[in-house]
Amino acid sequence: MLALASTLINQNQFLLHKNPNLNLFTKRNPKSLSIRLSSRLKEPERSPNSEEREEELLRSSISFPVIKARKRVVLVRHGQSTWNEEGRIQGSSNFSVLTKKGEAQAKTSREMLANDAFNVCFASPLNRSKRTAEIIWGTRDDEMIFESGLREIDLYSFQGLLKNEGEKKFGAAFQQWKYDASNFNIDGHYPVKELWSRARNCWTKILAHEGKSILVVAHNAVNQSLVASAMGLGPEYFRLLLQSNCGVSVLDFIPRVEEGTPHICLNRLNQTPSSPIAALNSESRKSYKRIILVCDVSTENNIKVQEAGDCLGAESAPQNVEMKQMPNLQVEYMLSQLNKARNYNLVSINFFYQTKGATDYSQLQPGWLNGVDDEITTQLWTQSEKAWNSILDDLSDEPTSEKNVVVVGHPALHIALLVHCLNLKKELLGSFHLDGGSVSVIDFPNGPAGRGVIRCVNYTAHLGRWAIPVTIN
C-alpha cells in the first residue's frame, strides 16, 4: 500500500490500465482523492422504502412493442450551438446553428462512429441537430428520417432569453425550472411532463423500424427523456442523466423468449471524446464531490491494492492522497456459485455470453444480470447498499472541500452502486452494462446529501475502444 501511495503522490496524471493515451485526470485536480477497493461486507437490512419505489416504477414504466431480434439504438446530442455558446435558452426554437466548435465536435463523432454500420438515422429537424446528423451520416446511403417528435423540449415564453434574463423576468417560475423541473409550469404547460410523453411516442416509431442498428441525433433534454423513459424512469429523473454536446449514449433492446416488452439495457451514457473527469460541473453547477467507478475484472476473489494501482496508473495525482480499503464483496465468488448451480440457465439465454458456457466475466453481454438467480442478486444488492452508504459517508467528511472517491471493483458491484445512486430497485440491475476497464462518474453538485448526477456510464474511449458502442451486424 505504501508503494502504491508513493506512486500516486510522485506522479502527475492518472491512467487506466497503463494506457498512454488516457487523459482522465487533468492539471486541475481535486484537493483530495480517496481510493476504495471492493471487499467483503456483512449484509445490511433491506431498505424500508423498497415497496414505495416499486409502486413508483410501475407508475412510470411503459410498454414497448414486441421485437423479434435484438436492436441497438445509439443516441447523440448535437454539437455546440450559437445559443449554447451565448447561454441562451433554446427549447424547441430553430434560430441557433452550430458554432465552429460544434461542427468540429460533429466531425469527431463521425470519425469515431465511422466503422459502425447503421441501418437508419432518426434526427430532430431543428437546424443544430439536423446539421450534426448530416455531418455524422456523411456519405452513407441509408435513409435519414427527420422526426418532429425529436425536437428539443418546448419551453414556450422562456425560449430566446438569456438565462439571467429568464431569472429576472420569471422569478419563481425560473427557480422551479432550475430546482423542480418535473413540476415546472409555464404558459399553462408542464414542459418536462410533455417531453416524457413525446419520448414514449418516439420510441414506438423508432422501434417499429426494421433496422437492428439505429442512430438517433437530437438534443439534451429529449435524449435524457429517451434514456429515462426507456428504463421506466419518470420526469423526476430529468437532469440526472447528463448529455454533453455530441455525447453518445447506447441502449440495447433484447427480445424476451416469452415475447412482450423487451429487456432494455443502458449500454453506455454520455461517452465523449474528451475526458469525463476533466469537467468539474454538472448542468452548470460546480460539483465539489464526485464518485469515480473503475471496473476491474479480476480472476481472484480479492482485488489487491497493487492491482488497483496498476489499473489507475499515475502520471499526475493530487498532492494529498488518502488511501482507504473495504473488505471484499466477493462478487466473483457469488457469480461462480451461480454458474455451478444454474448453468442450464446461462446457456439457455442467448444474450448472456458471447460464447456458450463461458465463465470469463469480461465477456458478459448487455442485460446478463436479468438472468441471474434472485438469491445471488439479493446478496449483491444488500452488500452493495452498505458499500454505497459508506462511500457517501466518505464524501461527507469534508463538506466544503473538493473530493473524489475512486472505487475499483467488479462490474456487477458498480452496476449495483449506480442503481443505488438512482434510488431504484434491484430488479433494475439488468438495465445497466459495464465493460472491464470502463469508467463511470457520479457528481454531487448539491453535496452527498443531494441527488447524484450520472455524468457518464461505461466510458471506454481512454482504452481505444470507442467502437464499443458497435452496431449490430
Which spans in 69-122 are helix H?
82-86, 100-112
79 labelled ligand-binding: yes
In sequence order, what DSSP letters do the residues of 254-319 get, joined into one string? E--TT-SSPEEEEEEEEE-SS-TTT--EETTEE--EEEEEEE---SSSS--HHHHHHHH--SB--S
Q: Verify whether residue 152 is a known catalytic residue.
A: yes
CA distance 438 to 432: 13
Q: Verify whether residue 17 is a known catalytic residue.
A: no
81 labelled ligand-binding: yes
Of the residues 56, 78, 332, 402, only one is catalytic, namely 78
Residue 83 burial by Cβ neighbours in a 10 Å radius (0-12, 13-18, 19+): buried
CA distance 221 to 268: 17
83 labelled ligand-binding: yes
Of the residues 56, 152, 236, 385, only one is catalytic, namely 152
CA distance 383 to 334: 12
128 labelled ligand-binding: yes
163 labelled ligand-binding: yes
28 labelled ligand-binding: no
State whether residue 189 is helix, strand or coil.
Answer: strand
State whether residue 251 is helix, strand or coil.
Answer: strand
70 labelled ligand-binding: no
Cα–Cα nearest to 25, from 401, 280, 317: 317
Residues 6+ apart with CB under 8 A from 67: 207, 253, 255, 262
410 labelled ligand-binding: no
| Bind-site residues for substrate | 77-84, 128, 163
Residues with catalytic function: 78, 152
